[in-house]
Structure 1
């Protein structure tokens, strides 16, 4: 059964809003399958699957479908670290070199790795390994062993952007080092530690780091990727070298079990995994980022005046979001079997907005996407001599104007006032060229330079 609810607290109108919101975005953004679970402190209140976990057989996505959760895994590494801090085996202020035989600056601490404030930029280890396992490209960098990984990090010390705490720079390699520290301190492998100390106590029985175990589950995603704008099935990349950074595979129902533990201050069903005051450190605001302050594997967002703590993830063929709000007693997990051009955090905040009484379509992400879709399409000049195309690309539109002489080149349209239809592009001379869209009855026109182009 793909839809489950026993929640008197979620009315049918809100459920319909959420279901429609997710299905609309899936259709617009070519997402084959998506799963959602919503919980409060006491349990799951709604779970549903949308679309297909496998396109070729049209097997449905369900609330139990297992996906790669990517960087949502980082919060498990931060919890494991805090557990060891609580037992006195580790300090957040410990130097990395106090635990690992690796040649990096001694003033880089565990805190810096967890908060992405070490000064190391991204070293692209995850991209290299994902591409290698998916067969989409080869970086030619040795990363097969721990020694290879250490050498890669040590060779990048000249890339450090500044002193610790100077900059926030998202670095998967930092979390891989956190996993190495946990192994060095505890004696078990990082994967064994998380299985024993987090997954098992939370009864996350369908969560795994193991590719063979993933394949043994019937209800698992087929990973999809669209390198040429056509969705194709791809191999699942297994993050053995970077399990702490992004290696966990899980269903949404397991993820909300984990989030319920966070809602309950570190305890679930009589088992305490972490002291509440210590767990609060994971949600600290240690660095400002474009999407909100960053803690240890968690980011704090303001959503229509409400506070949401969460994190997204992607492994190119799968995407994830897990978030919770202690003030509103809400936990949300979303997983998909491809990675759209935006993070699933955007969909998660839309679900959260609906649950807290705000129309999700008024959130900037959804309003912007809707406006871009209104303006996209084919255009032509008087009598069709010049033709143009407008289409979304990331957080902007792009425009191509051609005609009998040339097909033209794509130019990005930088937003000026999206609602008013005002954008600009940059000429070859570096001049800012205004582009505006105007509606007159049924006519939608695009004005650029000397041209008036009508939507057709």
Structure 2
């Protein structure tokens, strides 16, 4: 059976078990060996996903923002070691030790959470100006000294977009279009603005209880940290450009793919999978969930785009990698229920897990187990082991952990004990 047929068999089995909407693309040495779209771009308007569908690519934006910075670097207009104070003399609050390199590698120590704006919407349709964004973050204390720690930082990437604007004299999207999108022929990519009519634009969906719901999140104010949109076709053009020197030199590409703290380069995680070097990134919000994985020594790329914010895109991506590289893989299956004593659930797991901007409440109604995320999304679950639960109809596991003191954690958040 060909690789194409095996992937198709896997995805057919997957979509029979779990809801999935989006696209799966596999490229092997510049040849597309699998490209198929699934589900609806707009359920409300019965519009299917196709190769023309425009997806909000969320944090996949970061790699394109870094490319913009590196183009400016090659032109001698900035250095990755420049202090950000060079570009923001009007903001003396910024620590002069923070460099462009720190912003691109998430090692700046800047406060990292856009949910300071709204803990539930997380950059909803706020239409915040740059000044408003800056005023929210400029006085926040550093989480660690620049270069000494690592924390995924949206604001750092927002600043990179403003650096592009201040150095180039153009708007962020004008620069990106003129220097990346247009040279590559990425004519269906741009900066999302929900006020504009955009043909073939996918809507994002999430899950609550036993139904799909529309996502009210919009990425516009995330700017250079996560507001671009693109299509399958354009992302293939982007992938191919990363192998040649059409945008920047090979030396610059090597710099982009150099791992720093936590294996993060310039807009990419660099790691290994299946004993092969991989550069990858996710992109997601409460309506989209993407995974772009590139095995650069093998010239294999696997792209999973989804307009279901709950999609297990990383599992799909990594299982398809096993198929492509001839490793053993398992066909999709529905985990069997574990006979957990519900008294254990009540005494150990049920309750509230809350920190500054995250909240989960695990509850039970007779034999029905569920949790409520952020006070609004209901997740129906069932046990598959003593401490692991699975969504009843979404391909997602939820794991509880216990520390040495016997305290229970979910998603890194400790259970409240009253």
Interval of TM-score (by shorter of Structure 1 and Structure 2): 0.7 to 0.9
The answer for the alignment partner of 2:306 in structure 1 is 336
Give the one of 243, 247, 250 matched to 2:230.
Answer: 250
1:147 aligns with 2:134: no
1:259 counterpart = 2:239: yes
Report what 1:303 is aligned to: 273
- CA deviation string 1:281-322 (max 9, x = no partner): 11111112xxxx111110123221112111110121112222
The separation in 1 between residues aligned to 2:145 and 2:203, in whole angstroms, is 43
Q: In structure 2, do the counterparts of structure 1 residues 90 and 167 end up closer, same or farther at CA, with 3 Å as the change threshold? A: same
1:87 to 40, 53, 75: 75
Corresponding residue number in structure 2 for 1:451: none
Confirm whether residue 319 of structure 1 aligns to residue 289 of structure 2: yes
Map of 2:188 onto structure 1? 206
Distance verdict in 2 for CA 1:127–1:53, change over 3 Å: farther
- Name which of 300, 307, 330 aligns with 1:361: 330
Distance 1:386 1:98 in 2: 60
Which of the numbers 290, 315, 321 marks the counterpart of 1:346?
A: 315
Change in Cα spacing, 1:260 to 1:61, as seen in structure 2 (3 Å) is same
Preserved CA contact (<8 Å) 2:121 2:217: no
CA shift for structure 1 position 17: 2.7
Distance 1:215 1:238, change over 3 A: farther
User: Which one has the largest radius of gyration?
Assistant: 1
> Quick one: structure 1 residues 134 and 186, their matched pair in 2 at CA, closer, same or farther if it must change by over 3 Å?
closer
Cα separation, partners in 2 of 1:234 and 1:213, compared to 1, 3 Å:
same
After TM superposition, give the deviation of residue 126 of structure 1 in Å: 8.8
Q: Does 1:97 align with 2:79?
A: no
In the alignment, the residues of structure 2 paired with residue 409 and residue 47 of structure 1 have an alpha-carbon distance, to the nearest angstrom, of 36
How far the C-alpha of 1:215 sits from its partner, in A, is: 3.6
The structural deviation recorded for 1:356 is 1.4
- What is the aligned partner in structure 1 of residue 201 from structure 2? 220
Mapped contact 1:68–1:319 kept (Cα < 8 A): no
Name the SS of the counterpart of 2:80 in structure 1.
coil
- 1:439 maps to none
Tell me the distance in 1 between the aligned counterparts of 2:47 and 2:369: 42
TM-score relative to the length of structure 1: 0.71
Aligned partner of residue 280 in structure 2, secondary structure = strand
Do the aligned partners of residues 220 and 191 (structure 1) sit closer, same or farther apart at CA in structure 2, a change above 3 Å counting?
same
Matched-pair contact (CA < 8 Å) for 1:125–1:173: no
Q: Give the aligned partner of residue 7 of structure 2.
A: 18
Question: Residues of 2 paired with 1:117 and 1:431: CA distance?
Answer: 30
Who is 2:108 aligned against? Answer: 118
User: SS of the counterpart of 2:190?
Assistant: coil
Check whether the contact 2:204–2:309 (CA below 8 A) recurs between aligned residues: no
Segments of structure 1 that go 5 or more residues without pairing to the other structure are 1-11, 136-141, 392-397, 416-422, 433-456
Q: Say if 2:146 is the partner of 1:167.
A: no
Q: How far apart, CA to CA, are the structure 2 residues paired with 1:247 and 1:335?
A: 15
Contact preservation (8 Å) 1:68, 1:320: no
Instruction: Give a deviation string over 1:377-430, Cα, whole Å, max 9, x none.
Output: 6x588xxx99989x9xxxxxx998997xx9899899446xxxxxxx98769x94
Asked if the contact 1:386/1:402 (under 8 Å) is kept, the reply is: no
CA distance in structure 1 between the aligned counterparts of 2:213 and 2:225, rounded to whole angstroms: 26
Aligned partners of 2:58 and 2:225 also within 8 Å: yes
Q: What is the root-mean-square deviation of aligned Cα atoms in Å? A: 3.7
Count of aligned pairs between the two proteins: 370
Q: Are the aligned partners of 2:217 and 2:286 in contact in 1 as well (CA < 8 Å)? A: no
2: CA distance, partners of 1:113 / 1:386: 48
**Higher relative contact order, chain-length normalized (CA < 8 Å, sep 6+):** 2
> Which residue of structure 2 aligns with residue 447 of structure 1?
none
Distance 1:431 1:123 in 2: 26
Distance change >3 Å, CA 359–CA 88, structure 1 → 2? same
CA separation in 1, counterparts of 2:320 and 2:282? Answer: 14
Label 1:39 to 1:129 Cα distance change in 2 as closer, same or farther (>3 A).
farther
- Secondary structure of 2:330 counterpart: helix
- Which 10-residue stretch deviates more, 309-318 or 17-26? 17-26
TM-score, length-scaled by structure 2? 0.77
Q: Does the residue aligned with 2:151 lie in a helix, a strand or coil?
A: coil
Partner of 1:281: 255
